[in-house]
Structure 1
Amino acid sequence: MSTQLSFTKQEQGARSRFRELLTQAESTEDVKKFFYQTVRDLLMDVCGTLPAFNIQDVQLDLDQGEGYTLSDRLMNEADLSNLMHGSDLDDILGRLSKNAWNRYRQLEKNPAKSEQKIFPIPGS
């Protein structure tokens, strides 16, 4: 039986910061940006060093409407494939994406309310 790495300590810190960010999200774009930032910080905490990557490398899976995607470039250059299979990192990222999707759908249902927060109408 192989050893399974656990990153629950890192997850706890990331989840609490992520919850705070999601409550501040005023648009679906904010949710995507905050998801990227949280995953980036978590991966840096877990891996120590990573190749340079950007928001296109870490995305909510908009095609499926759930989950997340990591770019092939990031998976290969950071050797995340082995880490994902030998740890609970995939599950952690799945839980973070589930929280992001809940907030994303909530904001998506009422875009007028989001726009009013972003572009307030004077006198209202």
Structure 2
Amino acid sequence: FNWKAKLDQATIARFQRELGAMGYKFQFVTLAGFHALNNSMFELADGYRDHGMAAYSELQEREFGNEARGYTATRHQREVGTGYFDTIAQTISNGQSSTTAMKESTETAQFTIAAE
């Protein structure tokens, strides 16, 4: 469904509120994530073709800029639970695991959590 081809901006903006007023409690927009992921990867690949690693660096800078708004994926290892699995490995091996990921990772060294 092409929203802009069928509806004006004001109608699109109030769509969810109107659904809520009709009694709908759960509005799940599955395609938004699909399109956001694929379009952003297309834009990165396009930029990488023309500008090399500078395109990736620009993406990182946008991520860092979004941290103030709550974005946390700049620390991707933490985001996917690496520390949790390191703890499990250390527990199973009685603290002797040599395959943990976080202890000396570049993420631990480069990205620090600001003191609250």
The two structures share one fold, judged by TM-score above 0.5? no
Q: Which has the higher strand share?
A: 1
Report 1 or 2 for greater relative contact order, CA contacts < 8 Å, sequence distance ≥ 6: 1
TM-score calculated relative to the size of structure 2: 0.29
Structure number with greater Rg is: 2
TM-score calculated relative to the size of structure 1: 0.27
